[in-house]
Amino acid sequence: MKRWLPLGIFAVLAVLLGIGLSLDPRKVPSPLIGKSMPAFELAQLHDAERTVSDADLRGEVSVLNVWGTWCAGCRAEHDVLLRLARTGLVRIIGLNWKDDRQAAQQWLRELGNPYALSAFDQDGRVAIDWGVYGAPETFIMDATGIVRYKHIGVLNDELLDQEILPLLKKLKSET
């Protein structure tokens, strides 16, 4: 009987590890959710003379996506963003984070540009206000500018279909 004990302990452990797999230890609920988005004003990526600000995101449901050309995950999720843009449901604002202006523009020329507007956050100050701690990150704001959703890490088709699109439709119907 005693010899079955190690196996029993391992079985319990394996179940816990299995549950652990479906959890995300980094998923700390963002303090921003349910609050109004942080105010910001930044130069546009394509035109340093013009600016983007939080005012551009208010008034309708919007998505803010934090990315950089140095970020491997951003390349991986780019097609998903393009797909989201093509649905025409929502405007995606890009926050180009700690990047090189030329490289970022070239990236969008080569891979396609899902962003209605792109902000250029070279020193990362705005990203700090948004609590960004790694690219890519994606925020969804409702029409009043309240942050309703945050995703840390790469977007994929499954997430888009099962969480993001339904949420966007719901938010749109609220307005």
Partner 1 sequence: MIAELGHFALILALCMAVVQGVLPLAGSFTRNANWIASGRPAAYGQCVFVAVSFAALTYAFVIDDFSVEYVASNSNTLLPIVYKVSAVWSAHEGSLLLWVLMLGGWGAAVAYFSRNLPDIFAARVLAIMGLVGIGFLLFILLTSNPFARLTLMPAEGRDMNPLLQDPGLAIHPPMLYMGYVGLSVAFSFAIAALIGGRLDSTWARWSRPWTTIAWVFLTIGITLGSWWAYNELGWGGWWFWDPVENASFMPWLIATALIHSLAITEKRGAFKSWTVLLAILGFSLSLLGAFLVRSGVLTSVHAFATDPARGLFILLFLCVVIGGSLALYAWRGPGVSRGGQFHWMSRETLLLGNNLVLVSVTGFVLLGTLAPLIYDALGWGKISVGFPWFNTMFIGFMPFLGILLGAGPVTRWKSDDPVGLLKRLRWAALASLALALLAWLPLYTQASWQVALGIGLSAWIGLATLAGFVRRVRDPRGLVSALRKQSRSYYGMVLAHLGVAAFVLGVTLVSLFGIEKDVGLKPGESVTLAGYEFKFAGVESVRGPNYRAERGSVSVTRDGALVATLHPEKRRYFVQTQPMTEAAIDVGATRDLYVSLGEPLGEGAWSVRVYYKPFVRWIWGGGFLAALGGLLAVSDKRYRLSLRRKIRVKVAGAEVPA
List the x/- string, 91-110, binding to partner 1 by CB under 8 A: -------x-----------x
Q: Rule CB under 8 A: is residue 128 a binding residue for partner 1?
A: no
Taking the complex as a whole, how short is the minimal distance between the CB of residue 129 and partner 1, in angstroms?
19
| Pick from 30, 25, 53: nearest CA to 137 | 30
Residue with the two structure tokens 């609590």: 131
Binding residue for partner 1, selected from 36, 41, 70, 86, defined by CB under 8 A: 70
* 133 binds partner 1, rule: CB under 8 A: no
Residue 88 has φ and ψ, to the nearest 5°, of: 70, 10
Query: How many contiguous H segments (helices) and E segments (strands) does the chain have?
Result: 6, 7
Give min distance, CB of 169 to partner 1, in A.
26
Q: Output 159 or 167, the one with its CB closest to partner 1.
A: 159
SS3 string of 159-173? HHHHHHHHHHHHHHH
Rg of the chain on CA atoms, in Å: 19
Q: Does 23 bind partner 1 (CB under 8 A)?
A: yes
Applying CB under 8 A, the residues found at the interface with partner 1 are 3-4, 6-7, 10-11, 13-14, 16-26, 28, 70, 72, 98, 110
